[in-house]
């Protein structure tokens, strides 16, 4: 799988002012790469990640998935693509509070039409992969931050995505939990062949990535 952004701009209206979060960004990201996106707050890192994952649409420019221009396609019609091609990991976990760890991981598979028994089997396997099988029946509030993020990683893998998109995945964690998450992300890339794209301020994560993109004021100013 390959995602291409070509001269992408993203502008927002703030009152009477137009603010450009991205300014003519061009980038290609493929399955099998581990990429860090770094830069100061407000530089456009998360906006860039959202463009790569087809969560948002550009004001100008084009987004191509495996050579197909998806820019004109409404976001709601891109939902099946997002569900199958991308896995998302967020700083604040966003686990469903009333569902167990197991059912949080099953949820995206059920949305994709996977039969319940098959979804449960795969969810248990994924929880085992991230070291959380013994906590499968626990609700999110019964888990530490690091444990919740590991469940979130298992959930991101639920539909066997090509590329994992992680937005400050260790930002809410203590150093030891953060180290565990970094190791998991590295393993997804090295041992499982996933593409991993990480927005981060942390040098430890960036140093583990084979490719580094530096952003400032909505532009790529370093790396490619």
Q: What is the pLDDT of residue 139?
A: 98
Q: What is the pLDDT of residue 224?
A: 66
- For residue 45, the SS3 value is helix
- The residues, any chain, with a CB within 8 Å of residue 11's CB and separated by 6 or more, are 18, 19, 20, 21, 59
Task: Give the whole-angstrom CA distance, residue 122 versus residue 102.
Answer: 10
Task: Give the whole-angstrom CA distance, residue 104 versus residue 93.
Answer: 11
Q: What is the mean pLDDT of each run of 10 residues along the chain (224 residues)?
A: 97 90 96 95 95 96 97 94 94 94 97 96 96 97 95 95 95 89 91 93 87 96 83
Angle at the Cα of 189 from the Cα atoms of 51 and 141, rounded to 5 degrees: 75
Q: Which residue has the tokens 């990535």?
A: 209
Q: In degrees to the nearest 10, what's the CA dihedral of 107, 153, 89, 140?
A: 60
- CB atoms < 10 A from the CB of 63, how many? 23
Q: What is the pLDDT of residue 223?
A: 81
Q: What is the pLDDT of residue 144?
A: 94
Name all domains of the chain by residue range, CATH numbers in brackets.
32-48+72-222 (3.40.50.300)
Task: Give the whole-angstrom CA distance, residue 173 versus residue 153.
Answer: 14
Decide: 48 and 215 in contact? Cβ < 8 Å. yes
Q: How far is CA 89 from the centre of its chain?
A: 5
- CB atoms < 10 A from the CB of 222, how many? 11
Q: Which residue has the tokens 């927005």?
A: 199
Bridge partners, residue 166, by sequence: 89, 198
Q: What is the pLDDT of residue 192?
A: 87
Burial (CB count <10 Å: 0-12, 13-18, 19+), residue 64: middle
């Amino acid at each position: 799988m390959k995602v291409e952004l070509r001269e992408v701009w993203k502008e927002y209206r703030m009152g009477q002012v137009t603010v450009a979060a991205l300014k003519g960004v061009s980038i290609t990201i493929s399955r099998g790469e581990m990429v860090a996106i770094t830069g100061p707050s407000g530089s456009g890192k998360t906006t860039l990640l959202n463009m790569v994952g087809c969560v948002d649409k550009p004001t100008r420019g084009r987004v191509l998935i495996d050579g197909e221009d998806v820019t004109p396609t409404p976001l709601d019609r891109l939902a099946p693509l997002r569900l199958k091609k991308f896995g998302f990991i967020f700083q604040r976990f966003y686990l469903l509070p009333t569902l167990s760890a197991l059912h949080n991981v099953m949820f995206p598979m059920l949305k994709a039409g996977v039969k319940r028994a098959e979804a449960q089997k795969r969810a248990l396997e994924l929880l085992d992969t991230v070291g959380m099988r013994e906590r499968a029946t626990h609700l999110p509030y019964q888990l530490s931050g690091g444990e919740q993020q590991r469940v979130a990683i298992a959930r991101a893998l639920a539909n066997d995505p090509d590329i994992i998109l992680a937005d400050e995945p260790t930002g809410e964690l203590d150093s030891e939990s953060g180290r565990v998450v970094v190791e998991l992300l590295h393993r997804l890339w090295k041992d499982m062949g996933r593409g991993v794209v990480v927005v981060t301020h942390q040098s430890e994560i960036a140093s583990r990535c084979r490719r580094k993109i530096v952003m400032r004021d909505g532009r790529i100013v370093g790396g490619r």
